[in-house]
Amino acid sequence: MAQRTFSIIKPDAVRKGYTGAILAEIEKAGFKLAAIKKQAISNDQAKGFYHVHAERPFFKDLCTFMSTGPLFLMVLEKENAIADLRKLMGATNPANAEEGTIRKKFAGSIQENAIHGSDAEDTAAFEIGYWFAGYELI
Ligand code: GDP
């Protein structure tokens, strides 16, 4: 059965003009775009989204970065979507990302790393609900 995951094309990738290329990688890998919207998010919205990282040393910088420009919020659908998107994204730090992954191709640094993907079923459910209303997902 199809599973849903949540993803973001982060502001660095949008700024560099990589949105179309990243969407192509996602579709080529078999994901359906259940929903997508462009949005500029506030620092407070970023803080709420990344609340699990609140104690991490990079939290403040991460939230600042996420509100530096528009990004694309997405809900992606396929079998095994959560794990498969994580694989397609590659390691958090692009220096450690495998060849062929989105972060290897498009990320600039450990922080400005082009794409977000939920890491588990419970976080996917929280993240989809944080950014999308039910009527946007039909
Ligand atoms: P992800 O699941 O691969 O996105 O990684 P995490 O959940 O660990 O971290 C969330 C986001 O925080 C990452 O995608 C990066 O944008 C940022 N981040 C993670 N680790 C670091 C770090 O050591 N330094 C900085 N500046 N940012 C980081």
Domain boundaries, the chain: 3-136
Among residues 116, 117, 124, 127, the one annotated as catalytic is 116
Residue 1: predicted pLDDT: 77
- What does 56-99 look like in DSSP terms, one character per residue? STTHHHHHHHHTSS-EEEEEEEETTHHHHHHHHH--SSGGGPPT
Among protein residues, the one whose CA lies closest to atom 16 of ligand 1: 111
Residue 112 has pLDDT above 80, yes or no: yes
pLDDT tens track for 2-26? 999 999 999 999 999 999 999 999 9
Counting atoms of ligand 1 from 1, which one is nearest the CA of 10? 16
Q: Is 116 one of the catalytic residues?
A: yes
Residue 138: predicted pLDDT: 82
pLDDT tens track for 55-100? 999 999 999 999 999 999 999 999 999 999 999 999 999 999 999 9
Q: Could you tell me which CATH number the domain at 3-136 has? A: 3.30.70.141
pLDDT band at 117 (very low <50, low <70, confident <90, very high): very high
Measured torsion, CA atoms of residues 79, 81, 82, 88, in degrees rounded to the nearest 10: 130
